[in-house]
């Protein structure tokens, strides 16, 4: 068979984390002791009361059938109450919330709902790769917004050419940020809303890391900004907050028209989240929240050990206010992919090369804090040797 892939796929590079996983598996097959500071997958367990609720729900035959595309009304109500209590944002559970099979799924499908061929989408660079690939699959044109250290890793809207602004239909944002761990201010969100109204642009804010914070810092929701619901939506997930990455459950909330358009795309692609998982999701949002403080303290301890260890080696990195990542400048100017490969070869440490997040990620690597503190200390000892 003379088979060729679609042209749109040829514009998408191999998914970085798949490539990283291949390298890790190869090293492990060789019997090497790998310390994985690469992919951000929590090593902590899902809280027990959520697991117990799933076990109960899955035994009920009623949960084994197709779920509604819109999800359980009880789950949507739980989301609305969580947003009200956490952010003081009021959401209509029937029109302004839609459950997702993990927020990545909704992020990837959103461009199909709002872009036509040739429309521009503003993509932060570096960024979570799904923003860019979703735009490419929808035959939109991604335009990079450089996230630079001198701008606190916030995009400079003044640098966008006017001709691009006029052709832009969508902008992705993500704060607290992956991979840079930067945080946004009220003033920044205000500028984003003003920009969206001026140029008739849909804003899609990814808030997956809003609950992974340190030293009393509490990020705002983009939807708290006056006017935000008129032009934007926010993606959220149970993955990081409740250590449920493999469960694949999240949601999008905000502007009802945008959500309705995304829901129409999804109704032609999937059949909703397994009902038992939605019931467990309700338990996550409405149940005990004590694990959050403990979890953040644990990540903070790991953060401090890694930052202080790297700085003792002359790496000059700072302690982020949120996320479980460190975004670290390579000690010497160079290729982040080669440097990451060098670390794996010489120290059996896996980190994520910055170039995998975009052109402006070059010169950086990302460390994840999702390993035990003793393994982090071991990683510092290994780095001392090189």
Total domains in the fold of the chain: 2
User: Residue 100 pairs with which residues in a beta bridge?
Assistant: 250
This prediction's pTM: 0.96
Last residue of some domain: 230, 258, 286? 286
Q: Which domain holds residue 21?
A: 7-45+290-384
Q: What CATH code is carried by the domain that includes residue 358?
A: 3.90.1150.10
What are residue 252's phi and psi, to 5 degrees? -125, 145
Please give the Cα distance from 120 to 165 (Å, whole number): 8
Please give the Cα distance from 103 to 210 (Å, whole number): 14
Residues 275 and 295 in one domain: no
Average pLDDT over residues 230-235: 98
Residues 259 and 321 in one domain: no
Average pLDDT over residues 181-191: 97
Residues in the chain: 386
Residues 143 and 111 in one domain: yes
* 258 inside domain: yes
Please give the Cα distance from 83 to 78 (Å, whole number): 9
What is the per-residue pLDDT for 16?
Answer: 65
Residues 210 and 354 in one domain: no
Residues 226 and 280 in one domain: yes
Which residues touch 176 (CB under 8 Å, ≥6 apart)?
182, 183, 184, 209, 210, 212, 213, 219, 320, 321, 322, 323
Instruction: Locate the DSSP E strands across 207-351.
Output: 232-237, 250-254, 325-329, 349-350
Confidence band (pLDDT; 50, 70, 90) for 8? confident
Last residue of some domain: 247, 264, 286? 286
Residues 269 and 337 in one domain: no
Residues 258 and 109 in one domain: yes
Please give the Cα distance from 107 to 173 (Å, whole number): 11
Q: What CATH code is carried by the domain that includes residue 134?
A: 3.40.640.10
Lowest pLDDT segment from 3-12, 17-26, 160-169, 213-222? 17-26
* 1 inside domain: no
What is the per-residue pLDDT for 69?
Answer: 83
């Amino acid at each position: 068979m003379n088979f060729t892939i679609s042209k749109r796929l040829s514009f998408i590079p191999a998914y970085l984390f798949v490539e990283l996983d291949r390298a890790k598996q190869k090293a492990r097959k060789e019997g090497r002791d790998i310390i994985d500071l690469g992919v951000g997958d929590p090593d902590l367990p899902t809280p027990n009361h959520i697991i117990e609720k799933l076990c109960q729900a899955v035994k009920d035959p009623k949960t084994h059938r197709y779920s509604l595309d819109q999800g359980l009304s009880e789950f949507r109500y739980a989301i609305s109450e969580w947003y009200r209590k956490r952010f003081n944002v009021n959401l209509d559970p029937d029109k302004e919330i839609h459950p997702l099979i993990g927020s990545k799924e909704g992020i990837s499908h959103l461009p199909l709902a709002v872009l036509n061929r040739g429309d521009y989408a503003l993509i932060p660079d570096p960024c979570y790769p799904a923003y860019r690939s979703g735009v490419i699959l929808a035959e939109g044109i991604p335009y990079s917004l450089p996230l630079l250290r001198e701008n606190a890793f916030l995009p400079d809207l003044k640098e966008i050419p006017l001709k691009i602004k006029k052709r832009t239909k969508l902008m992705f944002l993500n704060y607290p940020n992956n991979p840079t761990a930067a945080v946004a201010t009220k003033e920044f969100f205000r500028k984003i809303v003003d920009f969206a109204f001026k140029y008739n642009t849909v804003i899609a804010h990814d808030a997956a890391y809003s609950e992974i914070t340190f030293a009393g810092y509490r990020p705002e929701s983009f939807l708290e900004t006056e006017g935000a619901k008129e032009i934007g939506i926010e993606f959220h997930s149970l993955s990081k907050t409740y250590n449920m990455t493999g469960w694949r459950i999240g949601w999008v909330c905000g502007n009802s028209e945008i959500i309705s358009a995304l829901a129409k795309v999804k109704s032609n692609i999937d059949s909703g989240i397994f009902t038992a998982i939605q019931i467990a999701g309700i338990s996550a949002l409405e149940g005990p929240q004590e694990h959050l403080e403990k979890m953040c303290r644990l990540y903070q301890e790991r953060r401090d050990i890694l930052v202080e260890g790297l700085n003792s080696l002359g790496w000059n990195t700072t302690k982020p206010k949120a996320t479980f990542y460190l975004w670290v400048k390579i000690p010497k100017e160079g290729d982040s992919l080669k440097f990451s490969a060098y670390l794996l070869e010489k120290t059996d440490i896996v980190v994520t090369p910055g170039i995998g997040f975009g052109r402006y990620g070059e010169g950086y690597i990302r460390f994840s804090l999702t390993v035990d503190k003793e393994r982090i200390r071991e990683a510092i000892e290994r780095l001392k040797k090189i």
